[in-house]
Structures are given as structure tokens and as C-alpha cells.
Structure 1
Amino acid sequence: MDLKDIRENAAGDLRRGLTVPLEDRLIGGLVAMPFAGFLGIWWNALTWWPSMLTLGLTALIWLPMAVWVAGHLDRANAS
């Protein structure tokens, strides 16, 4: 598997994550939440931006990550 295949799989998982049932998206959100939270805390420690700005950035990271995880889980369960 080369970089092109990884990019195609990631883009496909993101598109697939938009079509999965809500329950699967919620599971994806719960899986992605600790990783996005860590990135938000790390970013806040590096930049010292106000808390609400960092919280918004964390949400912007978390939402697509949750959709991607849901699509990835759907693809993994389908095969």
C-alpha cells in the first residue's frame, strides 16, 4: 500500500462516514474525542490562545475526525 492508496482510502472513508447511520457516527465521535481533545490541549499549551478559540479549533478537528472514524469502521465491518 503506497501513499496514493492511503489517500484514496482516507477520502473514501470520509465520504462513507457521511452516509452511515447516526449511531455509527456517535461511536466515531466517542472514539475520536480523546485524540481531538489531546490535540486541543496541546495546541493551547503551545499558543496560549484564549480558551474559546482553542475549544472551537478542537471542535473543528473533532468533527471531521469523527466522520472519518465512522466511515473507516463501516468499511472495516463491511469486509
Structure 2
Amino acid sequence: MFFLRGALFANLAALFATQGHYDQAKPFIQHALTVLPNNVQATITAVYIDLMVGRSQDAVARLKQCTRVSFVPGRLEVRAS
């Protein structure tokens, strides 16, 4: 049940973000990451939102915190689950 809720929040955040409504997307992605802290899709959506609102340091920090994303300066690798 928690996974479905997290996935719904992540999808809503992605929808708002792709439409350019970053302020509306932020609460949804925060809820998604609370429920699914290591979900790659939610993390990448959060990184996208951070980058689009000019918070590049937050985006890098978020990538470093996700255990399923390997961050090497100049390179990004995502491991399959």
C-alpha cells in the first residue's frame, strides 16, 4: 500500500514538473521520497525539480544520498533493482 501511495505522489510530482509547475510538484515529491526514500524515479524527479528551480547543490546532495544511484563527478550510473 505504501509503495502505491509513493508511486502516485512521484507520478503527480513528475506531471506537475513537466508542465513547469515546480511549486506544486515539490510537496508531492517530498511525500514520495518520505514513503520511498530510495526510489530512483522519485529521486530523479526531485533532482530535476531542484535543477529547474536553480538548486544544483541540493540536486547533487540528493543524488549522493540515494543508495541506488552511483555518483562519480562527470558520470551518472543507475543500477537496476
Alignment TM-score > 0.5, same fold: no
TM-score (norm 2): 0.36
Which of structures 1 and 2 has the larger relative contact order (alpha carbons within 8 angstroms, sep 6+)?
1
Highest CA radius of gyration, 1 or 2? Answer: 1
Q: 1 or 2, which has the higher strand percentage?
A: 2
What's the TM-score once normalised by structure 1's chain length? 0.36
The structure whose residues are more often helix, as a share, is 1
